[in-house]
Structure 1
Amino acid sequence: MGEILKEGLFWAALGRPSEVMPFLRGKLLSNGHSDGVKRQLEGLLNELERFYERVFCCGKIDEKHIRAIHSFHRDILSVLSADGGA
């Protein structure tokens, strides 16, 4: 998952910020998670998409962007583990 998020970061910097989002949404939201977990994941994915848009506007990747991706990764894993890893 972390590698996919990083790949999205690079796509964003290349001017294609939403390139990876359909894949992430499909992968995370169609795995039989509870409604509450799906809502939390949707919120995180919406934040991630806005983050990728901001990276696109910067036109480059900074260390703070890498740290933010690690944070998104932890948040997503935390939500998934709360659902029993379904």
Structure 2
Amino acid sequence: MLFEILKEGLFWAALGKPSEVMPFLRGKLLGNGLGESSKRQLEWLLDELERFYERVACCGRVEERHVRAIRSFHRDIVSVIETDGA
């Protein structure tokens, strides 16, 4: 489900609304009882994701390379959450 949300954010970004999904993601992921170290890592990843969405917004369309990048973000986010045991 997380991947689908990240991918939807990608399409919002292409429509010129790059931060549309970020408040939801931040609320759900950071309010998940993570330890401080994991929370910092996740905050960094979410900041990077937001900057990525902003770059996609400048492009104005979704390309295959963007979907590959979203898969990478998904993998990294899941890794942080699983490592923390949350």
TM-score (norm 1): 0.98
Q: How many residues align?
A: 85
Taking only the aligned residue pairs, the percentage that are identical comes to 74
CA shift for structure 1 position 43: 0.2
Q: What are structure 2's unaligned runs of at least 5 residues?
A: none
| Structure 1 segment 47-66 matched on structure 2, within 5 A | 47-66=48-67
**2:21 aligns to what?**
20
Give 1:31 shift.
Answer: 1.0
Partner amino acid for 1:21? M
Quote the RMSD (CA, aligned, Å).
Answer: 0.4
Does structure 1 residue 77 correspond to structure 2 residue 71?
Answer: no
Extract unaligned runs of 5+ from structure 1: none
Q: CA deviation at 1:10?
A: 0.3
- Normalising to structure 2: TM-score of the pair? 0.98
Structure 1 runs (4+) deviating above 2 angstroms are none
